[in-house]
C-alpha cells in the first residue's frame, strides 16, 4: 500500500466517524449545527456537509468538473477561472518545467544553506519527503522551509550521497571542475593540504 493510498483511506475512515457522531448528536441529543461543530471541533459549514454529502462523493464530483487533464502525462490539472477552464499542463509538464532545475552547484549551495541553518550537512533522510512524513514534527517543518533537492537528484548528479557530502564539506562548488584544477596544478593542491593541516594543529 502506498503512502498516498494509506492517507486517503485514513481520511475516509475519519470522515465516516465524524458523520456518525454528527448524526448521533443531532438525532439522540438534539444538538444544533453550531453545537455539533463545537463538539467535533469542526466549522458549521463542515457539519452541514456531513449531512448533505456524507460520503463526500458530491464534493469530489464538483471538483472533477473543474479539473482538466494534462496534455503531457494525463494527470489531473488544477482549475483556473471556473468550470471548464483548467490548466493544459500539470506542474511537472508545463513548458520550461522539463528543463533540469538542479545542478551540482545548486545542490551544494542547498547543502551549505542547510548547514548554516542547522549546523550540520543534511543526510539523505533529511531531504526524503517520505521519511519526513513518517517522522513528522521538526523533520517535516525543516523540509518545507524551502525547496530542497530530493535524494535521488543528489545521487544522480554526484553518483552517491557520500560524494555530495564530501564536496560540500570541502567547499567544492563543482566536483568536476575541482578535479580538473587538481590535476592541472598538483603543487597548489599540496600547498592547500599543508595549510589546512597547519590550521587544524593550531586549533588543537
> Residue 135 — φ and ψ, nearest 5°?
-75, -35
For position 68, what pLDDT does the model report?
81
Q: Which residues of the chain have pLDDT under 50?
A: 98-99, 173-178, 180-184, 186-194, 196, 199-204
Measured from the Cβ of residue 204, the count of other Cβ atoms closer than 10 Å reads: 5
Count the Cβ atoms, other than its own, within 10 Å of residue 164.
26
pLDDT of residue 45: 92
- CB of 25 closer than 8 Å to CB of 39: yes
Residue with grid cell 509538464, as numbered in its chain: 93
Cell of 12: 475516509
Domain ranges of the chain: 3-55, 66-99, 104-199
Mapped to the 3 state alphabet, what secondary structure does 95-134 carry? CCCCCCCCCHHHHHHHHHHHHHHHCCCCCCCCCCHHHHHH
CB-CB contact of 133 with 144 (8 Å): no
**Which one, of 97, 95, 127, lies nearest residue 111 by Cα?**
127
Residue 37 has which C-alpha cell?
461543530
- What is the per-residue pLDDT across 17-59, written as a single tens digit (0 to 9) for each? 999 999 999 999 999 999 999 999 999 999 999 999 988 888 8
Collect all residues with Cβ–Cβ distance below 8 Å to 158 and sequence separation of at least 6.
104, 107, 164, 167, 175
d(CA 98, CA 100): 6
Query: For strand 68-69 and strand 76-77, is the pairing parallel, antiparallel, or unpaired?
Result: antiparallel
| pLDDT computed for residue 4 by the predictor | 55
Q: Check residue 109 and give its pLDDT.
A: 93
The predicted structure's pLDDT at residue 66: 76
Per-residue pLDDT, 1 = 52
- Does this model's pTM top 0.85? My answer is no
- The dihedral region occupied by 103, where left means phi > 0, alpha psi between -120 and 50, and beta the remainder, is beta
Q: What is the pLDDT of residue 97?
A: 54
Amino acid at each position: 500500500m502506498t503512502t498516498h493510498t494509506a492517507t486517503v483511506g485514513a481520511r475516509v475512515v475519519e470522515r465516516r466517524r465524524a458523520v456518525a457522531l454528527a448524526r448521533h448528536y443531532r438525532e439522540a441529543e438534539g444538538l444544533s449545527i453550531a453545537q455539533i461543530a463545537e463538539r467535533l471541533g469542526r466549522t458549521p459549514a463542515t457539519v452541514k456537509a456531513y449531512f448533505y454529502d456524507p460520503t463526500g462523493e458530491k464534493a469530489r464530483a464538483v471538483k472533477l468538473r473543474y479539473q482538466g487533464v494534462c496534455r503531457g502525462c494525463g494527470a489531473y490539472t488544477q482549475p483556473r477561472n471556473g468550470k471548464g477552464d483548467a490548466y493544459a499542463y500539470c506542474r511537472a509538464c508545463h513548458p520550461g518545467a522539463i528543463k533540469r532545475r538542479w545542478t551540482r552547484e545548486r545542490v551544494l549551495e542547498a547543502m551549505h544553506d542547510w548547514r548554516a541553518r542547522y549546523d550540520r550537512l543534511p543526510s539523505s533522510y533529511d531531504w526524503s519527503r517520505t521519511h519526513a512524513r513518517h517522522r513528522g514534527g521538526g523533520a517535516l517543518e525543516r523540509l518545507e522551509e524551502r525547496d530542497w533537492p530530493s535524494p535521488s537528484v543528489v545521487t544522480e548528479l554526484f553518483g552517491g550521497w557520500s560524494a555530495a557530502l564530501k564536496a560540500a564539506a570541502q567547499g567544492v562548488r563543482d566536483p568536476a571542475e575541482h578535479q580538473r584544477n587538481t590535476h592541472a596544478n598538483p603543487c597548489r593542491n599540496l600547498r592547500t593540504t599543508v595549510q589546512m593541516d597547519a590550521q587544524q594543529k593550531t586549533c588543537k
